Structure 1
């Protein structure tokens, strides 16, 4: 990234800029897929949702900083108005690189390669030596048992294995969860400043309000941590989609107000700010928790790679459609495009109701058996499993903590 930013900064034409974008896409693709897999493997079950959903907050922090940098350079009339935002990106890679050099490898990765000593060293680095209740050997035994269980349920770790047997369902769910992020209307959040300008607000103030929008996103992600301690991932996901669908219908309805009605235009902007908060307290962060928990440990990296590739492909389609919908010289739908995304959001809600299970409080061993026994997504929360006896007992009166 440090090298590619030079191309951005010194670009003299659109061809050079495009080349930089393509080259940057390679490390960006790696950055998009590795954190969820790594975070889910280096922390205990109780902390797993917090560390994985923190990824969403990092995205929001990045958007907030980008909006601030653009706000600061917006009024410049020279070449530095675009060179400064590129140059600011040099601030991040070096300290992140230094931190990664000291980060331990995943103990799950060591076990899958038969390096038990390496797994123990990683666990010792990931835990406090003052914690006398922690037994690294017992944890390694659990990891080994999970790994052997998955090997017995489905052999192989190639991309083709993601589409075989029970892994096909897990791949479908993980890919679907990430594609839901693009089809629920979240693309309209990126056009908040555009709607503010339409409402008659000066461009500089539109940037200021964008900072407030992303600040709400940060608060929403923090709020999701409290929600997850009281509610399951599945319930948050379904409630989030229901809320977004409602907001999209309201936003589309406001577009029928006369063009002279500035209050309706402001109301559209308010709806998008509320949409951002609802998205970042539900769908945005919980997606990272779900995709890291619902893929098998042996195929986690490959499943997440496939899911993120599906996300990026769908995002290309969604962004192209949104530009046609909002552009005055194209379809010129304006805020009525919210109806279209309300329809796709409803489809996502129906799919999630029948397909997205509840992984809250489950170990990877328990999840493996639940998928192997083809337990319905709606019964994941109330199904008892014993990974060491291989028995499954369904009890409708149980709430998993």
Structure 2
């Protein structure tokens, strides 16, 4: 009964909104992407109204600022990577801090001193566990409070966790702060992808979601530079400075969000069509009565009305809305359960590709491999990541989604397998039993060629990750869900991302450290194999969504993923939902 009432209310609202004046629905024909964002004023002049050409920089600036939230994720990932290898931090958290007041207090930790694998797993994994919970909470907040309000609340929770981490001097408070920060970060990561996908013009949606990935990489680079500057400080400032700088990013994001428009699709879901039209006009930088704005809003409302008409009773309840994500048989291409599992699988393959190993444990790993200047190495890797993500702006705009993901998977696998093979060759080569000038045993010495093979392989791998799977997984996740379950679906997919992040955080030190499995660089064989599996999955199951509106993406599941690249959307999206449009058309004749 509730669903029927809601559906009837929305239909009445659409009727009233589009027929309350003498204005007519724009001519029923296909609007090109350029027209949909205001590029064609000749059609808009048909009713005596001239819309100004879209000031693209302003519309994209709104989307870009929302994507700035990715810096929270990137900076946290990067700072903890370096902090866990800082001499003072290692001494402090293993209860070996010398008295700073004592004459001749050491200025560096002993060479043998390092955090055990279980402590590194706990420090990194608690944040990932918090993000799993936060992702679910974020989808709830986004649905009930709105996309903007949800992100502002997430920033407040994030700040709370950062404060606890900053003042910590023992594992208990640090762990609690990491979990609290994870809650806020999980909420942000869910709602930002949702918000960006819903507000971005269709031709620029991939670029805008890629900007979120760029913000992540910028956070990684900034944190690596900060760690490099504070690594040798022999007091609590060595780790408190990197931690506390997170407050700056959270405050900037929270304050800026106050001035951003709400998602028009959320307003449609709430039945607030006037507000939806105002928000959409602001996002497209057009007058509210512009034909392109009204046509886009009409498609959004008709699509959502069609979703509601096809939904079984009970899906508008809290638990029913979650259950709706898993509705429909798996074999039905467009079923909600298939889309949910597709998004979850894409996020899983992004996480098990090996990137988190490099940015969570890279400093400690390179240190364990006896490489010199490990903090400088991480800065260089972070810079490669940032530069490559900028390149992705161009690639996601010209390349098909499927092609990009499959090519990236193969390239990443080749790089990682090369690093692992080089390590195996070195381990199997004859040993020189003479100790070197540092007194290191032969098994501890790394020849120059293995160093350069590892650095080249990791650097090239990061280039391909940052230009393909880095932004690509988030783009696909934000595009494939219908409006009715979009918040829930994106929340579940993001939670899956963080779940695998947590698994890798706890498992990787066990696989790599010498006091456990001691795989060392050969762990890259695991990541390389996962990349090849990701390529096969993309070929069989991921549809081509480039250049389509979110409402058009909803229809592409009618064909198989392998044939989706040649799929052409219907002339006018709203016409597709003829059952709910006959009433509107007859009322306007």
Distance 1:94 1:306 in 2: 27
- Give the number of the structure whose alpha-carbon radius of gyration is greater: 2
How many Å apart are 1:195 and its aligned residue?
4.9
Question: Which residue number corresponds to residue 460 of structure 2?
Answer: 274
Distance 1:3 1:332 in 2: 37
Question: Which residue number corresponds to residue 19 of structure 1?
Answer: 176
How many Å apart are 1:133 and its aligned residue?
6.3
Question: Which residue number corresponds to residue 474 of structure 2?
Answer: 288
The 5-angstrom pairing of residues 154-165 of structure 1 reads 154-155=311-312, 156=315, 158-165=321-328
Q: Unaligned regions of 5+ residues in structure 2, if any?
A: 1-157, 329-334, 430-442, 578-589
- Please report the RMSD computed on the Cα atoms of aligned residues, expressed in angstroms: 2.0
Q: Unaligned regions of 5+ residues in structure 1, if any?
A: 392-401
How many Å apart are 1:131 and its aligned residue?
11
Distance 2:326 2:460 in 1: 38
Matched, 1:226 2:411: no
Distance 1:23 1:363 in 2: 36
TM-superposition CA deviations, 1:338-370 (whole Å, max 9, x none): 112222222222112101110011222322222
TM-superposition CA deviations, 1:121-171 (whole Å, max 9, x none): 212322325899663222211211121232234453501101112111111
Please identify runs of 4+ aligned residues in structure 1 that moved more than 6 A.
130-133
Q: TM-score, normalised by structure 1?
A: 0.91
Matched, 1:325 2:495: no
Question: Which residue number corresponds to residue 194 of structure 2?
Answer: 37
TM-superposition CA deviations, 1:195-251 (whole Å, max 9, x none): 54355433xx22122112111111111111211222101110111111111111111
Question: Which residue number corresponds to residue 399 of structure 1?
Answer: none
Q: TM-score, normalised by structure 2?
A: 0.63
Question: Which residue number corresponds to residue 182 of structure 1?
Answer: 351
The more displaced of 62-71 and 6-15 is 6-15
**Cα pair 2:353 2:531 within 8 Å, conserved:** yes
How many Å apart are 1:388 and its aligned residue?
4.3
Question: Which residue number corresponds to residue 212 of structure 1?
Answer: 380
Matched, 1:76 2:246: no
The 5-angstrom pairing of residues 70-149 of structure 1 reads 70-129=227-286, 135-149=292-306
The more displaced of 352-361 and 316-325 is 316-325
Distance 1:187 1:267 in 2: 20
Matched, 1:384 2:574: no
Helix, strand or coil for the counterpart of 1:34?
A: helix
**Cα pair 1:57 1:218 within 8 Å, conserved:** yes
Helix, strand or coil for the counterpart of 2:484?
A: coil
How many Å apart are 1:270 and its aligned residue?
1.8
Question: Which residue number corresponds to residue 339 of structure 2?
Answer: 170
Distance 1:194 1:254, change over 3 A: farther
Distance 1:131 1:365 in 2: 21
Question: Which residue number corresponds to residue 50 of structure 1?
Answer: 207
Distance 1:244 1:154, change over 3 A: farther
The one of 198, 201, 220 aligned to 1:63: 220
Distance 1:11 1:192 in 2: 24
Distance 1:134 1:66 in 2: 46
The one of 466, 486, 492 aligned to 1:300: 486
Question: Which residue number corresponds to residue 64 of structure 2?
Answer: none
Distance 2:346 2:162 in 1: 32
